[in-house]
Structure 1
């Protein structure tokens, strides 16, 4: 007769020959932050027949011994562990302790269909929104995807990383969920295979955080998700929905970052077209379109700033960076463009300030790349890519705001840039050859097409 196994809820301090029969509910690799290709540990969540869960870790010196013996979803008999107290802000279970594999730990594969394969501990969205971003436990949530934003990109550890934001709703409320990295592609594939109606989604082991001033949930390394799964929790949720009509919707409503209008609409239709001299003399705040030639860079001005993941500037604080809008200290700042251009159009001169998105598209490079190259080559104050902008003609959608802070005094923030030749010619013809600003349209440099914005 098989000897009785210990239950996970009985785990505590003290020397004991622990014996468990558990399923590996979740397993993921944890890599070094400084050396992304170096595996630091294997992390997992174990669940037993009673439904209790505990975190377990394979430390670095035992990776080669256990990494090929453990598979997510399988059931094992496990013997002999160290027990450590749990701490930190990414706790996968409420259990106060975690298990550490040892050299003498034994792993035996077995079968047990009585151990839950999903191990969900669902929270409703209202309860999640009542918690703070410092909540230490990861959460599970089920809801309908009621809105989704177009994918965005940001720089993380020097790499361009995709990000997507979607809105989840249940009977108690709604919140935003952020996914990034490989999860974005996986989610898009799952959504593409779904039927009509709003998709039902389960997100497991997600982090509660502050996002755009509200409580949201974010995917982390341990997070996994299911779209329209045929499991009891999903079926029960869908049967209990008090919402009508969700089955008839053919697509998920878009929200958040909307696609930009076509160049023709943005630069020829939506906003008044104006020369620089009239822009300077105008007393009316608003958005205007100006055609001008880049005359150079404003000397002695920084061309980039240290930014948070929210794109706001961070400041030095006690040896670290601090983002005031996010009220946090980002682990890593991201260089972002803020380039002050001197421009002219034959009627006058002005200073236009161009930021990250437009500079990325104009140069075909990201700010962190130029910062790294400048440091590596011990280059001058401005990278040569910025110097090459001199003499280029562009259309600028700019904002005139007399109430701007000191950063914009005597200058104008650029909202968007266009270098589409057909749009520029149409812009000049609309102004008419008699207008002072039509100087811009007299010629378009052939090499200008090298800087094609998509």
Structure 2
């Protein structure tokens, strides 16, 4: 067994031995490139059930992937303890573990009987709404499986390639109680044992714990998104599952196969259609609500420069003054090195244009442009981009009035 337990860990190098079970293990890939591994994540448990998050970064991922298996117990030594990540923590612990090239992993063949298999912090289904887009922790839920969809292939806005998707609906076992859809993505969608759950539901309710999910909302409907961090425990012998099973058995119904759910949802998240400005300029706003198009434009001319040398005190323009710069503001008159302000864009800039309500043409002319992609150069200071393109969009405002819910995706390529 180990020398210490998880609560005894302190920030810094640790040469003591920890005896831990790998409760969860997953790989976090680049959302834009599935072939690029960003880091490997683990949830580790000690013999008393204490938990901690651990991460392995390249190039060490390949080294330890051959040594670690989910569910097995290891002696861990020579690792780094640091403060936990600010966002997307899988367990409640202010610290986390980082593997180093000196970290040693020794497998324990004789598993102590008291070692827990899983850890979770359940949120009731009827309390998910306040956690929509909550980033600090992943969300864990418990429910009875009521509906399962087939695996479908969809293409989302964030990816150019298609991704697999499956929806599992769970409830709190009461007919009048709330339900929630758990949307599984990629490998999680294909490995979910849907056939077995459907078959076993004929004789008993299937109680499932989903861990590592994110709460999302679309069209006022709350759902859970299960990516690589998501894992499930079906009919796990824990008190919460036993209690829910007791209430579900009195009104049990087999799981329903929903053939149309995935197909219907895929149309909602489909990639916007490519259009030209002339195609959308005079579209009827009332007949094209909630529609989206992808438009590529090129900025041919900008009236003012993208950046300027600013005074460090008052941020007004400076002018050369010998081998340094002098502020043009008479009340400031500061002399010294300036601070470049503005944004330089050596690369294409993708933006999203969200039109305002139909009642205000002035609001449309100064429509908000939100940056969706970070240029390769450093962002020194945010620029009022709508002012830069106001003249360009003014020509469109007379015919292209869209509803509040419509969105126009635009890729802007600055002229050389």
Scaled to the shorter chain, the TM-score interval is 0.5 to 0.7
Unaligned runs of 5+ in 2: 265-274, 282-289, 297-342, 344-348, 356-369, 374-399, 404-416
Within a 5 Å distance, the mapping from 1:5-154 to structure 2 comes to: 5-33=3-31, 35-110=33-108, 111-148=111-148, 152-154=152-154
Which position in structure 2 is the counterpart of 1:440? none
Partner in structure 2 of residue 168 of structure 1: 170
User: TM-score, normalised to structure 2's length?
Assistant: 0.58
- Inter-partner Cα distance in structure 2 for 1:226 and 1:181: 18
CA distance in 2 between partners of 1:136 and 1:330 (Å): 24
**Whole-Å Cα distance in 2 between the matches of residues 302 and 91 of structure 1?**
43
Contact 2:186 2:227 in 1 (8 A): no
Contact 1:44–1:56 (8 Å) recurs in 2: yes
Are positions 1:205 and 2:209 aligned together?
Answer: no
Closer, same or farther: CA 311–41 of 1 in aligned 2, 3 Å: farther
Residue 138 of structure 1: CA displacement?
1.1
Cα distance per residue 1:154-193 (max 9 Å; x no partner): 2143222232333321167332221122333333333343
Change (3 A) 1:244 1:211: farther
Residue deviations 1:101-155 (CA, integer Å, cap 9, x gap): 1122111111333211122332222233332312421122110123445655421
Q: Secondary structure at the match of 1:89?
A: coil
Q: 1:184 and 2:189 equivalent?
A: yes
Kept after mapping to 2: 8 A contact 1:198/1:252: no
**SS class of match (1:38):** strand
Taking a change above 3 Å as real, the CA distance of residues 129 and 81 of structure 1, as seen in their structure-2 partners, is same
Q: Deviations over 1:174-215 (max 9, x none)?
A: 322211223333333333432316532221211122233233
Cα distance in 2 between the residues matched to 1:184 and 1:106 = 33
Greater percentage in helix = 1
Contact kept? 2:14, 2:77, Cα under 8 Å = no
- Coordinate RMSD, CA, aligned: 3.9
93 and 230 in structure 1: CA distance in 2 versus 1, 3 angstrom threshold: closer
TM-score, normalised by the number of residues in structure 1: 0.54
The alpha carbon displacement at 1:59 in A equals: 1.8
1:25 aligned counterpart, secondary structure: strand
Equivalent residue, structure 2, for 1:301: 279
| 3-state SS of 2:128 partner | helix
**Greater Cα shift, 19-28 or 197-206:** 197-206
